Amino acid sequence: MSWLNKVVWDDQGLVPVIAQDHATGEVLMFAWMNREALETTARTNEAVYWSRSRRKLWHKGEESGHIQKVREIRLDCDNDVVLLRIEQVGDIACHTGRRSCFFQQYLAGSGWEAVDPVLKDPAAIYGEHGSGSSVAPHGEGDDRGQLE
Amino acid sequence: MSWLNKVVWDDQGLVPVIAQDHATGEVLMFAWMNREALETTARTNEAVYWSRSRRKLWHKGEESGHIQKVREIRLDCDNDVVLLRIEQVGDIACHTGRRSCFFQQYLAGSGWEAVDPVLKDPAAIYGEHGSGSSVAPHGEGDDRGQLE
């Protein structure tokens, strides 16, 4: 589809994606999409990412139940970054059980501090909805693999 | 500095950065930082990025005057994405003269459409503040080089 050709994919065929709460403006998470993920997201109006650690499509919420209903899809001026304006089901986007993944704040003198509360124990999140696979409790398609 | 060591830099020594209006929540732009850029940003409270196209530090607003005053620096759960909550001087973050770089919206059936207004002619932005270098009017450290 021609609109997918306008997107400038990187040398791995991916584009960075920012997910933002459509109502509050809060930035909830950051992930990646390939062409199929973006096409599926636009067609189904539910966020589907590319998990770099698992090397497969990742329907956000497939384990946690915390799917993202897409209200708007935006592209930046260079055509190489996507912004999703979404409704976060369950109000929790982060695999740590927090609303947003950006819960660590830099404080001069003391460095990064976790300043936002855990709303739900990750074990409970993935225990209730999880497949019991070894991926939980880090869950879903989070890219923790790149940390190693 | 130890807080910089917590950041997971990619294989090019960079981290993706989202800049968000601290008051409205609007996502204004996306760029990259290396270690020196993040350290300088935290020290000066003005956003300094790494321009991948020019391969140098880029003090946002150095040509346009549209500097970004940093109110808060956040890090995500994987320690590999930074979120800046900023005050955008001049109310224009994009080199196209728009408030946000994310001015293109996907509309089913018609594809990407520019839906936000140009607030100021880029020629006027860079003519007023620019150095007259060949970088303008694309301006500053924008990563248009990767489009080629």
B95 or A148: which leads in pLDDT: B95
A102 in a domain, yes or no?
yes
Give me the mean pLDDT over the B107-134 stretch.
83
**Cβ–Cβ below 8 Å for A106 and B147:** no
Give me the mean pLDDT over the A60-83 stretch.
97
A147 in a domain, yes or no?
no
Of the pLDDT bands very low, low, confident and very high (cuts 50, 70, 90), residue B104 is very high
Range of the domain at A13: 2-139
User: Does the pLDDT at position B42 exceed 90?
Assistant: yes
pLDDT > 90: percent of chain A: 83
Q: Could you report the predicted ipTM of this complex, rounded to two decimals?
A: 0.89
Which residue in the set A24, A96, A111 is minimally distant from B25, CB to CB? A24
**Cβ–Cβ below 8 Å for B106 and A2:** no
Nearest-by-CA chain A residue for B41: A106
Which residue in the set A2, A74, A112 is minimally distant from B105, CB to CB? A74
Which residue in the set A79, A105, A144 is minimally distant from B73, CB to CB? A105
**Chain B hits for A16, Cβ within 8 Å:** 16, 30
Nearest-by-CA chain A residue for B93: A77
- Which of B102, B107, B142, B143 should one mutate to test binding to chain A, selecting the residue with the greatest count of A CBs within 10 A? B102
Residue with tokens 């008051």: B23
B95 in a domain, yes or no?
yes
Query: What contacts B55, CB < 8 A, 6 or more positions away?
Result: none
User: Does the pLDDT at position B31 exceed 80?
Assistant: yes
Query: What does the pLDDT read at residue B127?
Result: 80
For A36, A71, B48, B125, B137, the CA distances from A41, given in Å and listed in that order, are 8, 11, 33, 36, 34
**Chain B hits for A81, Cβ within 8 Å:** 30, 101-102
Give me the mean pLDDT over the B50-78 stretch.
97
Give the number of A-B residue pairs with CB atoms closer than 8 Å. 126
User: Does the pLDDT at position B129 exceed 80?
Assistant: no
For A106, B32, B42, B53, B141, the CA distances from B56, given in Å and listed in that order, are 24, 11, 18, 8, 8
Query: What does the pLDDT read at residue A134?
Result: 41
Of the pLDDT bands very low, low, confident and very high (cuts 50, 70, 90), residue B141 is low
**Cβ–Cβ below 8 Å for B77 and A83:** no
Give the predicted TM-score (pTM) of the model: 0.89
Query: What does the pLDDT read at residue A146?
Result: 34
Model pLDDT for residues A82-126, shown as the tens digit of each residue: 999 999 999 999 999 999 999 999 999 899 999 999 999 999 999
Query: What does the pLDDT read at residue A78?
Result: 97
**Cβ–Cβ below 8 Å for A27 and B29:** no
pLDDT > 70: percent of chain A: 86
Domain count, chain B: 1
User: Does the pLDDT at position B24 exceed 70?
Assistant: yes
Domain CATH number, residue B66: 3.10.20.810
Which residues of chain B are at the A interface, by a Cβ-Cβ cutoff of 8 Å?
2-3, 6, 8, 16, 18, 20, 24-27, 29-30, 42, 72-81, 83, 94-96, 98, 101-106, 108, 111-112, 142-144, 146-147
A145 in a domain, yes or no?
no
CB atoms within 10 A of CB A82: 25
Which residue in the set B8, B72, B76 is minimally distant from A101, CB to CB? B76
A128 or A41: which leads in pLDDT: A41
B146 in a domain, yes or no?
no
Query: What does the pLDDT read at residue A96?
Result: 97
Alpha carbons A7 and B47: distance in angstroms, whole number: 26
Of the pLDDT bands very low, low, confident and very high (cuts 50, 70, 90), residue B1 is confident
User: Does the pLDDT at position A145 exceed 50?
Assistant: no
Give me the mean pLDDT over the A45-71 stretch.
97
Model pLDDT for residues A18-42, shown as the tens digit of each residue: 999 999 999 999 999 999 999 999 9
User: Does the pLDDT at position A148 exceed 80?
Assistant: no
Pull the structure tokens for residue B98. Answer: 């728009």
Nearest-by-CA chain A residue for B100: A76
Alpha carbons A122 and A137: distance in angstroms, whole number: 6
